Each structure stands twice: as C-alpha cells, then as structure tokens.
Amino acid sequence: MEKYGHFIAGARVAGASNRAADVFNPSTGEVKAQVALASREDMDQAVAAAAAAQAEWATVNPQRRARVMFKFKSLVEADADNLARLLSEEHGKVIADSHGDLQRGLEVIEFACGIPHLLKGEYTEGAGPGIDVYSMRQPLGVVAGITPFNFPAMIPMWMFGPAIACGNAFILKPSEKDPGVPLRLAELMMEAGAPEGILNVVNGDKEAVDAILEHPLIRAVSFVGSSDIAQYVYATGTANGKRVQAMGGAKNHGIVLPDADFDQAVKDIVGAAFGSAGERCMALPVTVAVGDGTAEQLLERLLPEIENLRVGISTDEQAHYGPVVTAAHRQRILDYIDLGVSEGAELVVDGREFSLQGYENGFYVGPTLFDRVTADMKTYQDEIFGPVMQIMRSDSMEEAITLPSSHQYGNGVAIFTRNGKAAREFAQKVNVGMVGINVPIPVPVAYHTFGGWKRSAFGDANQHGTEGVRFFTKIKTITQRWPEGDVADQSFVIPTMQ
C-alpha cells in the first residue's frame, strides 16, 4: 500500500513520527494509502529548509519568480488528467469537478504570474524640502497554509501561488484526507524551477497545525476549513504574533423572487446544491422562495431535476456527483437528515437509504430535499456539507434578506430575479461577503478576492487578488534626503587613517 510522507527541501521524505492515518477511496470505501502525521521535529525540519531557501529567493527579481509560475502552470496543465484522476480517487468528486478544482487553482497561478506589477511601491517627490518618500513591498519570510479536504488543488494554489511569487518560502499542511495531489503539486513546483525548500508539504493533523502556530520563524498563516478550527487557528496564531487569515464554514442562501427565470434558476440551484455532493463552501444548500406560489413553482421544476441526478463512482463520466469524503462524514450527514425530520421539516426526497450497486461500501448519500425549513431549526443553523437541500418560504424580499444577513455564516449568497433594482438593493444590503445576481456560485475570479463575513472568515485579509499580495508582504516606507553640494566635501565620506 502507498505510504505518503512529506515533501521537504525538494524531496519526498518519510518523516520522523510513527503516527499515520488512512487515506480512503470514498467510491469503494477501501483504504488506498497511509499518510504520515508529522511531529514537531518534521515541522522544524521543513521550516529550517524553507528559511534556508527564502533569503536568496527574496533577492531573485520578481520577473524571474513569475517565470517559475508560468512554467508551473504549464506543467500542471500537461499533467492535468493524472492529477484529476488522483484527486477524484481520494476526494470522491467526479473527474469534471476535479478538473474544475485544478483550473480554478491555476487561475490564481496566472494571477501570480502578474504579481511583479503589484509589488511596485509608491513614490512621492518633494514630500518636504529635498525630501522624497517611497515604499516597497517585501516578502514576510517563511509562511504557512493549512487547507481543507474539499479543494485539495485549488485552495493550496490560492495560497502558495501569491506567497511564493511575492518571494516567501511556503509550508503547506494539506488535509490528511486527500494528500496525494498537494504532494504532486510541490514536485511540479520544483520541476518548474523553484529552489528546494521554497514549497514544502508537511502532512499531519492537530499536532502539525499547532507546530505551525507556535513556530517562531513562521510569520503568517493562511487557513481554510471549518469555523471552530478557523477561530482556534486565528486566536492562537495571532496570540503568537503571526499574521493570520482564517476562512471558515458556510451556509449559503439562494433567494428566488417571483419574477425569476425559473427554468434557469432551478438548473443553477440543483447544480450548486448537489454538485460535488454539496461539499463546497460556496454550495447553495438553502433556497428561499419569496412570495405566493414561488415555492410551488420551484418544487414542480425541482423534483424532476433532483430525481434525474445520477450518483456514481468518481470516475463515472455520467455521474452528477460521487460519494462524500469519509464514512464518518456520511454518518454526520445522515444524522442531520434524521434531525431535520424530528425538528419538523418536510422531507420531500430522502437520500438516506441510497446505495450504489457494486459499491455498497462507498460513502454515498442520495439527494435529499427538505421543504418548510424554518430559521429556528438546528439543521438550518448548522453547515451540513452534504447533498441536502433546504427550502424556506418568505413573504417579501425584505424578510428574505434577513435570513442570510442574520445567519452565523456569511460566505456567499445568490439572488434570482429579473428586477435590476431589487437585485441592486439586495447586493447593497445583505450582510454576506460574496453575492451572486443570477449566479449561483459567486466565487470571484482570481484577480478579485475571495472571502466571507461573520463566522465564515476570521481576520481581515481575503484570499488572492490584491489582498493576497498584501497578506503575504509587508510594506516598508523610506524617507530620503540627499546632501547638497560636492559629495567629496561631506562628512559621511569614509574616514581614512591620514
């Protein structure tokens, strides 16, 4: 059986710890590999390798660093089929979604190719008599990223692309559930010309995370995962003097007004609720139907779409979605469906008994639909992170806005309408970080920034875009005055013994 270690100083290493975890193929339920869980000693080794490489990397001119990003992008593209297969095998998402995972990550790498432009400082001539002021952006040094299981290619690239292009060395602690692709990405980064030690992958669990949060040489930590862990990482990292951005969980609402294009909205909503088995932080698990008859119209169109969803193994090209990531996560989703029933929501489509013939041990959950969900229900307040859609009803748009606005999470939200005024007002008023107008999954493009509000993000710097560059650099401001007259006469000329 394959054993994943770490990637430190340009090579795969087994690591010093004797702790390991199973990596599953969720489609079959079988253990496909084991992954080492790092000790502090492993982390120290990775940080030492990163620190040794970073000082020189910071002096490589920005254009040359960008060339490494160009080359990395073309290497990932050339290997995309293998990477997508590996990703699907460990995560369970279908191959098309794995290609999407890689593609959205590569868009941030493309953005990183243009970072030299964003590293330029500012200049004020004549800020005082003979005085000029200028600023420069310098890398932080060694920085780290801790990533979730659900986008094992895209989210690491969100972080290490900008960080490395800015002149930092990077330690990636990916999810222990699907470590295969992150390890391959680090190998490809070396092949692209990054010096050894500039991108290291240390696999592990809480022990590795704590080693990052407490390591004195790690200057900044970027985290994406669930909210309780995000809050812990933010609190601990900042208490230790680090810059921290920590993205958390989500519960995104789709608001449907009576004038929406129902056919389009239903297709969008079904794709966004059930795609990737609902395991996306920008999934759309809640639909709020506004006005009389909207819920009925939606249900009439939703039911055939949901019944047509095909659940299959991750390599089934006809499947709309595959298994969820682990048996434990499957059980957690089933428990939430049980809870929804006991809380009094109306279970319209029940995915609990779903089983895939020939793959009975895989971690599958059938599409599930609840109607008449209300704001007091725990199944509404919590993130379920599975193929479970919840319909709510609202009398007015004003009332509908209060649902996402007062929810503990504020990652994404979407409105479906033909009314420009209503959409504009909604976008201005809603208390959520990313808004879609007739766009179900409003993940901003790479040169904008990604980040939610409330318990969906701790810290105030978003991922990628200009905020990513700011996060991974520090600004230095120089105020200068040059002496006037003959330089040879000046007192700062180096004194000699004569």
- Determine phi and psi for 306, rounding to 5 degrees: -70, -40
- The DSSP letter of residue 36 is E
Query: Does residue 382 belong to the site contacting ligand NAD (CB under 6 A)?
Result: no
Q: How far apart are CA 481 and CA 130, in angstroms?
A: 6
CA 80 → CA 88, 93, 165, 249, distances in Å? 12, 15, 22, 28
* Minimum distance, C-beta of residue 157 to ligand NAD, in the bound complex (Å): 13
Q: How far apart are CA 364 and CA 277, in angstroms?
A: 9
* Minimum distance, C-beta of residue 468 to ligand NAD, in the bound complex (Å): 13
In the three-class reduction of DSSP (H, G, I as helix; E, B as strand; rest coil), residue 396 is classed as coil
Write the single-letter amino acid at 270.
V
* Minimum distance, C-beta of residue 217 to ligand NAD, in the bound complex (Å): 19
Q: How far apart are CA 147 and CA 12, in angstroms?
A: 19
Is 166 an active-site residue? Answer: no
Residues 273-292 that bind ligand NAD (CB under 6 A): 281
Tokens of 80: 């995309």
Query: Does residue 179 belong to the site contacting ligand NAD (CB under 6 A)?
Result: no
In the three-class reduction of DSSP (H, G, I as helix; E, B as strand; rest coil), residue 204 is classed as coil
Q: Which of 33, 43, 224, 257 binds ligand NAD (CB under 6 A)?
A: 224
Range list of β-strands (E), 248-398:
253-256, 286-290, 346-349, 368-371, 388-394
- From residue 28 to residue 67, what is the string marking binding to ligand NAD with x (rule CB under 6 A)? ----------------------------------------
Q: Which stretch binds ligand NAD (CB under 6 A): 50-58, 71-79, 168-176, 424-432?
A: 168-176
Q: Which of 113, 229, 255, 397 binds ligand NAD (CB under 6 A)?
A: 229
Tokens of 479: 């105020």
- Cβ-based nearer residue to ligand NAD, 57 or 234: 234
- Cβ-based nearer residue to ligand NAD, 394 or 411: 411
Q: Which stretch binds ligand NAD (CB under 6 A): 60-68, 225-233, 388-396, 479-487?
A: 225-233
Q: How far apart are CA 71 and CA 121, in angstroms?
A: 26
- Cβ-based nearer residue to ligand NAD, 209 or 311: 209
* Minimum distance, C-beta of residue 381 to ligand NAD, in the bound complex (Å): 14
Q: How far apart are CA 397 and CA 128, in angstroms?
A: 55
The residue with its CB nearest to ligand NAD is: 225
Q: How many residues bind ligand NAD (CB under 6 A)?
A: 26
Task: Find the catalytic residue in 169, 202, 224, 281.
Answer: 281
Tokens of 292: 């009389």
Q: Which of 10, 105, 225, 410 binds ligand NAD (CB under 6 A)?
A: 225
Query: Does residue 390 belong to the site contacting ligand NAD (CB under 6 A)?
Result: no
- From residue 245 to residue 264, what is the string marking binding to ligand NAD with x (rule CB under 6 A)? --xxxx--------------
Q: How far apart are CA 274 and CA 386, in angstroms?
A: 8
Helix%, strand%, coil% for the chain, nearest 5: 40, 25, 35
- Cβ-based nearer residue to ligand NAD, 57 or 151: 151
* Minimum distance, C-beta of residue 432 to ligand NAD, in the bound complex (Å): 12
Write the single-letter amino acid at 124.
T
CA dihedral 357→360→362→364, nearest 10 degrees, is: 70
Query: Within 13 Å of residue 281, how many CA atoms lie on the same side as its CB?
Result: 29
Q: DSSP labels for 125-147? A: EEEETTEEEEEEEEE-SEEEEE-
Query: Does residue 148 belong to the site contacting ligand NAD (CB under 6 A)?
Result: yes
Q: Which of 7, 149, 364, 426 binds ligand NAD (CB under 6 A)?
A: 149
- From residue 443 to residue 482, what is the string marking binding to ligand NAD with x (rule CB under 6 A)? ---------x---x--------------------------
Query: Does residue 156 belong to the site contacting ligand NAD (CB under 6 A)?
Result: no
Q: Which stretch binds ligand NAD (CB under 6 A): 73-81, 82-90, 144-152, 469-477?
A: 144-152
Q: In what order do the strands lie in the sheet containing 6-8?
A: 11-13, 6-8, 199-201, 169-173, 142-146, 218-224, 243-247, 457-458
Residues catalogued as catalytic? 281
Q: Which residues bind ligand NAD (CB under 6 A)?
A: 146-151, 173, 175-176, 205-206, 209, 224-226, 229, 247-250, 281, 383, 385, 411, 452, 456
